[in-house]
Amino acid sequence: MPTILFTTVLALSVLYAPQPLLPVIMSEFGVSRSSAALLTTVCFVPLSLAPLVYGYVLESVSPRRMLRVSVFLLALSQVLFFFGPTFSSLLAVRAFQGALIPAILTALMTYVSLASGKGSVQRTMAVYVSATILGGFLGRALSGWVATAFGWRYSFLVLAASLLLAFYLLGRLREASSLTLGKPHPRMLLDVLRRPGFLRLYLVVFGFFLVFAAIMNFIPFRLTEISAQANEFRIGLMYSGYLMGLITSLSAVRIGAWVGGEMPALRLGLGVFVLALAGMLAPSVGGLFAMMFLFCAGMFLAHATASGLLNRCSGANKGIVNGLYVSFYYAGGALGSYAPAPIYRAFGWEGMIWALIGVALLTWLATWKSGPADAGPSTT
């Protein structure tokens, strides 16, 4: 399990490391704010599509094999990003990374769920989600620190070396003992989506990550608007709210038991999420910093609850179930990382926030219908 968690942290670090660097990259290459934001979007687009393929493949291919190949190629891509001479070359590398990261994440989620006992899958998935949160924070915070100390490109060499270590450790990983491989069928995707409550929950996941990705991608530009001291390191520290998300994700099962089940816990998380979003209207660095803790707490309670619920109710075809989860999640991220740019440009930060509040409220309202058929107060 430590190797799985280490690899998870690194995969998410790679995904989010450029975010606090967007203002400096925008300045160095002379591109617009919306163009710089594409460094996230171009990675999210394949992330939203590729897991459908990888989830299907994982019904007949070993998660361990997929992990090793993908992690090695991801390490090489970090070296290419370090040497990237033009903004276009950086975009090309990020698109390649976007095709590799979902292979890693889908295989990791599948390995974790298969390696868990039936009664512990929700708790194990909560630990996995916590590792993704830690990776999201460390990727941003450490890239900001390395960029401030040594230059923005060196963050990616550090990640390359770390990924090569993960590649070595994965070679010593045992296969999940409960894994049984079989011939997949194209109808598996539709079969999963037709299960009661599954599509609605996937759409909820799409909605909350759309809003979350928008804030994560555009908050560096907001900070440079309201503070002259917003360097890469300080922008990276703005993502410290992730640490509160770490706490709520690890407590997701307990919170679910306390409020009466997974669906009430999901509603609670998204309710906090909406309130924190409204609090970001305040034109204050301190206010934004505080709201990020509340925002991440709500987001990751919802994320850990939704992923654990789907895996508990999935039965067979866990590769497909997790592939669809990652696809809907990052499809929302792809839209959220770029679509708000014209709203931001035309109506400012406040206009963008109000638009996101509308999306978040619709997502929250969708949780008031029943979830997956097996949903109910958890017994784990």
> Tens digit of pLDDT for each residue in 235-246?
888 888 888 888
Torsional class of 315: left (φ above 0), alpha (ψ -120 to 50), beta (otherwise)? left
Q: Which range (85-99, 176-190, 237-251, 263-277) has the least confidence?
A: 176-190
Residues 153-183 have pLDDT tens digits of: 999 999 999 999 999 998 887 765 444 444 4
The owner of tokens 């679910």 is 256
Residue 205 CB neighbours (<10 A): 26
Tell me which range, 30-34, 128-132, 196-200, 212-216, is most confidently predicted by mean pLDDT: 212-216
Residues 72-88 have pLDDT tens digits of: 999 999 999 999 999 99
The owner of tokens 């990705």 is 213
**Which of the four pLDDT bands, split at 50, 70 and 90, describes residue 116?**
low
172-189 per-residue burial string, b: 16 or more CB within 10 A, e: under 16: ebeebeebeeeebeeebb
User: Is the separation of the CB atoms in 369 and 249 below 8 Å?
Assistant: no
User: Is the separation of the CB atoms in 131 and 8 below 8 Å?
Assistant: yes
CA torsion 72-78-80-81 (nearest 10°) is 160
Mean pLDDT of all residues in 201-224: 92
Burial class (CB in 10 A: 0-12, 13-18, 19+), 45: buried
Computed over every residue of the chain, the mean pLDDT equals 84
pTM of the predicted structure, to 2 decimals: 0.78
Quickly name the fold that domain 2-173+185-366 has: Growth Hormone; Chain: A; (1.20.1250)
User: Is the separation of the CB atoms in 197 and 367 below 8 Å?
Assistant: no
Say how far apart CA 281 and CA 274 lie, in whole Å. Answer: 12
**Which of the four pLDDT bands, split at 50, 70 and 90, describes residue 44?**
confident
**Which of the four pLDDT bands, split at 50, 70 and 90, describes residue 185?**
low
Burial class (CB in 10 A: 0-12, 13-18, 19+), 369: exposed
Say how far apart CA 336 and CA 214 lie, in whole Å. Answer: 5
The owner of tokens 């307990």 is 254
Nearest to 109 by CA among 285, 330, 347, 364: 330
Residues 303-348 have pLDDT tens digits of: 888 888 887 776 666 667 777 887 888 889 889 988 999 999 999 9
Say how far apart CA 376 and CA 315 lie, in whole Å. Answer: 16
Say how far apart CA 218 and CA 54 lie, in whole Å. Answer: 30
Mean pLDDT of all residues in 16-24: 89
Nearest to 307 by CA among 282, 325, 280, 333: 325
**Which of the four pLDDT bands, split at 50, 70 and 90, describes residue 377?**
very low
